[in-house]
Amino acid sequence: MNNDQPVKIPVDGTLDLHTFQPGEIKELLNDYIEECLKNNIYELRIIHGKGTGTLKAMVRSILKKHPAVLNFSDADLMSGGWGATLVTLKKKKPEKTES
């Protein structure tokens, strides 16, 4: 199997990072946020697992720098607890039309 093919992931507001390498996370997360915005999805759940906390710290560092991120927090227990981060994106402002 050729691993050079792009991986299609569903854009449904939930991104599970378990199958990705740490070096892929920054680009993946930024691209996923942009795709969610295009699809008018503003509530995201990023699953990074509990582990040592390294991946969670990486995810949160990326989120802090992304201009479309309004806020983020640990998920509730039913959504993954501290093994997942809930993200709220800023809604696009309606474009003004000339009258």
Query: Which pLDDT score, from 0 to 100, does residue 13 have?
Result: 96
Query: Which pLDDT score, from 0 to 100, does residue 1 have?
Result: 42
Q: What is the pTM of this model?
A: 0.84
Catalogue all structural domains in the chain, each as residue range(s) with its CATH number: 14-89 (3.30.1370.110)
Mean pLDDT of the chain: 89
CA distance 49 to 6: 23
DSSP-based three-state secondary structure for 69: strand
Render pLDDT for 63-81 as a digit per residue (tens, 0 to 9): 999 999 999 999 999 888 9
φ and ψ at residue 85, rounded to 5 degrees: -120, 130
Rounded to the nearest angstrom, the gap between the alpha carbon of residue 30 and the centroid of all alpha carbons in its chain is 7
Query: Which pLDDT score, from 0 to 100, does residue 5 have?
Result: 61
Q: Helix 54-65 vs helix 25-38: angle between axes, to the nearest 10 degrees?
A: 50
